[in-house]
């Protein structure tokens, strides 16, 4: 589907609908009148098949305790197999409410208080919060930056794993916020080190459907034909792909039966959530009939990315590579002093973004901008940002 057709059919007004992105800016920014380009959801209705499936289920009128439909796993497994060559087995599969909730549960399941857990910064800030709030030691490996291209530092990671006795690695793949889609050879080297160091890998693959410039995604489950499966847990959700975050439905995929047994025992102890009925109804329909919709979303993101690059080409800010995700990483430091960046974006540009310092090491002076919105919003953001840059003074 072309971007223009997608936007005409699916763009929706979210202001005054209790949307965090539009109506919840006061807490973080002190102002609800900014242009919101921050929270990672979209201004687009879900695929039509998902709406139809929800309407049919709602007409039934009863929402008692339910089990997933027989077709859910088949729909999801077919999607993963056809698009990425990822093979799944039903016994590996569990439901959760959200990916972050599942990360927290796995940190508690697979480590003990005081154990060391590694992240690669800059990274989605709940990774750090989950580690620290669960009383684990946070171990940071800083991504290496060449221009705006980021890579892992496997030698430094192995050294830190060894001396800090790291038990668990939280991997963001594709990586939020730097936009990398890790190549299989990069993942092979990383997973090989983790296996040697007895470090379990929990991989957040929630953005894997959002391939913008990359032409291939490799799941940790598929690296070297599944060679490392016993040492990994994969997390995913339809929430980013199909704009379903509020439906609270995510996936926990655990090939190793011993790890799966530990997870099941801990979830039973917590009486933790195991997804939601309506979330599963909507997601199954989207996996079965949402491919054209997703193509339209991706074409819209690509158009928005081109707009940002064109509009900022004559300015000294650096626009990141967007291999995957719809979250663009921008280095504002060549023009705006990091000390002044929040005031500049909020008061002068009047745009709500995620600030790089929230993402940890190496993020100060950067912003993360959400491009999964209408081209009109992106053009407005660029107009406001370039006008602010034109008049900026230290």
pLDDT, one tens digit per residue, over 175-189 is 999 999 999 999 999
Give the pLDDT confidence of 189-198 residue by residue, as tens digits.
999 999 999 9
Q: pLDDT at position 392, please?
A: 85
Q: pLDDT at position 55, please?
A: 97
Flag whether pLDDT at 275 surpasses 90. Answer: no
Flag whether pLDDT at 274 surpasses 80. Answer: no
When pLDDT is averaged across residues 224-242 and rounded to a whole number, the result is: 97
Which domains can be identified in the chain, with CATH numbers?
3-47+291-391 (3.90.1150.10), 62-289 (3.40.640.10)
Beta bridge partners of 234: 203, 253
Residue corresponding to tokens 């929430």: 239
Tokens of 9: 């059919």
Give the pLDDT confidence of 369-393 residue by residue, as tens digits.
999 999 999 999 999 999 999 998 7
Tokens of 322: 């967007």
| pTM, to two decimals | 0.96
CB-hemisphere CA count at 13 Å for 307? 22
Question: Mean pLDDT over all residues of the chain?
Answer: 96
User: Positive or negative CA dihedral for 127, 128, 133, 136?
Assistant: positive
* Cα(49)–Cα(277) distance, integer angstroms: 16
Provide the pLDDT confidence category of residue 219 given band limits of 50, 70 and 90: very high
Q: pLDDT at position 271, please?
A: 79
């Amino acid at each position: 589907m072309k971007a223009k057709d997608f936007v005409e059919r699916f763009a929706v007004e979210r202001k005054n609908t209790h949307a965090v992105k539009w109506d919840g800016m006061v807490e973080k920014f002190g102002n609800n009148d900014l242009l919101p380009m921050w929270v990672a959801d979209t201004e687009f209705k879900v695929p039509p098949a998902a709406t139809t499936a929800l309407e049919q289920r709602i007409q039934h009128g009863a929402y008692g305790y339910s089990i997933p439909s027989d077709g859910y796993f088949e729909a999801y497994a077919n999607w993963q197999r056809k698009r990425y060559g990822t093979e799944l087995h039903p016994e590996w599969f569990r439901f959760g409410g959200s990916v972050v909730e599942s990360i927290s549960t796995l940190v508690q399941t697979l480590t003990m208080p005081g154990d060391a857990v590694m992240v690669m910064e800059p990274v989605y800030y709940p990774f750090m919060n989950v580690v620290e709030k669960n009383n684990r030691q946070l171990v940071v490996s800083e991504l290496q930056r060449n221009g705006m291209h980021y890579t892992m530092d496997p030698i430094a990671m192995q050294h830190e794993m060894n001396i800090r006795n790291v038990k668990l690695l939280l991997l963001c793949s594709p990586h939020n916020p730097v936009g990398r889609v890790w190549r299989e050879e990069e993942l092979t080297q990383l997973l090989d080190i983790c296996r040697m160091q007895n470090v379990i890998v929990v991989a957040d693959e929630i953005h894997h459907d959002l391939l913008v410039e990359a032409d291939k995604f490799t799941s940790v489950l598929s690296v070297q034909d599944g060679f490392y499966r016993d040492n990994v847990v994969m997390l995913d959700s339809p929430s980013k792909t199909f704009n379903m975050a509020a439906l609270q439905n995510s996936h926990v995929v655990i090939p190793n039966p011993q790890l799966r047994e530990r997870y099941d025992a801990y979830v039973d102890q917590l009486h933790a959530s195991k997804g939601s009925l309506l979330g599963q109804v909507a997601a199954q329909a989207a996996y079965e009939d949402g491919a054209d919709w997703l193509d339209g979303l991706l074409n819209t993101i690509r158009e928005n990315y081109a707009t940002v690059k064109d509009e900022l080409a004559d300015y000294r800010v650096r626009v990141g590579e967007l291999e995957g995700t719809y979250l663009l990483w921008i280095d504002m430091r060549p023009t705006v002093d990091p000390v002044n960046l929040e005031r500049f974006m909020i008061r002068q540009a009047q745009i709500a973004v995620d600030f790089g310092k929230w993402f940890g090491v190496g993020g100060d002076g950067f912003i993360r901008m959400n491009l999964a919105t209408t081209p009109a919003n992106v053009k407005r953001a660029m107009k406001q940002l370039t006008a602010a840059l034109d008049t900026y003074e230290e």
